[in-house]
Amino acid sequence: MITNVVLLIDKRDVMSTKYKKILIKNNFSVFHIKNLELASDIILNHEPEIILISDSLDNYIAKNIQFLRTVNTKTRPCIIALSKSNDVNDKLKVLHNGADDYFSEPIDFLEFIGRLKAHLRRTYETQVNDVTLLFNNKITTKILKRTLNDNIGYSYLYITMKNIESYKDLYGDIAYSKMLQTLCAILSSCLDEKDYLGHVIQDNSFLVITSQNKIENIAKYMIYAFNKVKEKFYAKNDLNRGFLILKGDVFEETKTSFVKMFLGGVINSNKKYTNINELLHAIVYINKLASLKEDSNYLIERHQLAANDSIIEKKYNLNVMIIENDDSLSLLLETQCKLNNYNVLKVNDSEIILKNSTFQPSVIILDAGSATHFEGVNLCKKIKSMEFYKDAKIILTTVFHDKQTILKSGADLYLPKPYNIDNIISWVKRFNIEYNL
């Protein structure tokens, strides 16, 4: 997938033709211009890895190199001077003005290609991720830009790992690195030399560039293979519990699930993306839609037909249910929720909501009950088993600090008492937004 781009700035016809032939023969893509007027546009649009500039131009070569260095790009090009002079002072002056190397002409073409590849190797070695050895965001962005300039209809697959930072916090850097390396090995196994795999946006998210007929098969295989191996990265007690606990019982905590993989893909023939920002926005958006599922998932953008009035808008749910035996605390929670424009239902008899469910809450604030009977914990299990309440987010507040028991009951948040009222309202807001996505 990676074709190295060379910008050749040379006024001569014969020598420039020789350089172009040897470069193309060695799989370089070459832009040839005879003056500096078009140089800025080519550098900005194509971001060449190497710029070869001859002393055949009108201005002195050192000044021309100074000008080239003023053109700002995300990746720094390697500038090499081509000169008939073998004088050491000429070499030093050119190098001091921004050139990375100086080739005295005539130069053996085998040496010429060998030195170019050495410069490329040094450039690329500084642009790889230390853990995965894949190219970083700068190189990936450059490759993306080039594919948009081609007339080939590429497909793009954006891959994110949910909860991987929590996994890193709990299991450490070595286990985190092993998981990323395993993921890269799985990805690489279903790609060939025509495809591209690199990091984009973050160090733990990836981009695959491939052909249109392969993208869905790659996505399916990635989900299948990752689900097969993921359990090997967890301790037995975490697997038995079914989720991760990151903090002690005295701290509030949501239930942290295992690492999940989400893939969002677009096919460039469906919609011709004209710039890199538009493309990145599209793949990130599709990836977010894929991540709405509970388990690892993929989603590929496709054309869809819709009839008039076929789109049904989901009504925004602002309902909050409060089940709290402490009357003063229940009143305080009700008041604060209403001040934040939520519709509140206080429940004193749990049997009512189990037998006659008419008020559909987005968030339920539930007291866990006494340390001897766990009334609220048992109620939480019953609520979670009911189809009517299955999407509601449950905040389980408790005086007994047993995080594992609370979270295993189905609660979305373990919140030990006493708690700050502003804190619980902030959780209500967060869960309400998640519910209404």
- The CATH number linked to 325 is 3.40.50.2300
In this prediction, the residues of the chain whose per-residue pLDDT falls under 70 are 1, 151, 270-271, 302-314, 371-372
291 and 391 share one domain: no
Q: Provide the number of structural domains found in the chain.
A: 3
340 and 382 share one domain: yes
For residues 48 and 31, what is the distance between their CA atoms, to the nearest angstrom? 9
pLDDT of residue 31: 92
Q: Return the half-sphere exposure (C-beta side, CA atoms, 13 A cut-off) of residue 25.
A: 10
Alpha helices in 105-264, H assignment, sequence order: 109-125, 137-149, 164-171, 173-189, 215-229, 236-241
62 and 190 share one domain: no
pLDDT of residue 306: 45
Q: What's the pTM?
A: 0.73
255 and 196 share one domain: yes
pLDDT of residue 371: 63
- The domain of 242 spans 137-300
pLDDT of residue 21: 93
E strand spans, 260-341: 260-267, 297-300, 319-323
In CATH, what number is assigned to the domain containing residue 265? 3.30.70.270
Indicate whether 351 belongs to any domain.
yes
Residue 299's DSSP bridge partners are 264
Please list, in sequence order, all residues whose beta carbon lies within 8 angstroms of the beta carbon of residue 320, skipping any fewer than 6 positions away. 337, 342, 343, 344, 345, 361, 362, 363, 364, 365, 428, 432
121 and 144 share one domain: no
Domain end, chosen from 97, 125, 153, is at 125
147 and 293 share one domain: yes
> CB of 14 within 8 A of CB of 117?
no
111 and 205 share one domain: no
- Length reported for the chain: 437
Q: What are phi and psi of 135, to 5 degrees?
A: -65, 145
Q: What angle do CA 207, 212, 218 make, to 5 degrees?
A: 55
Which structure tokens are listed for 347? 């429940």
pLDDT of residue 437: 75
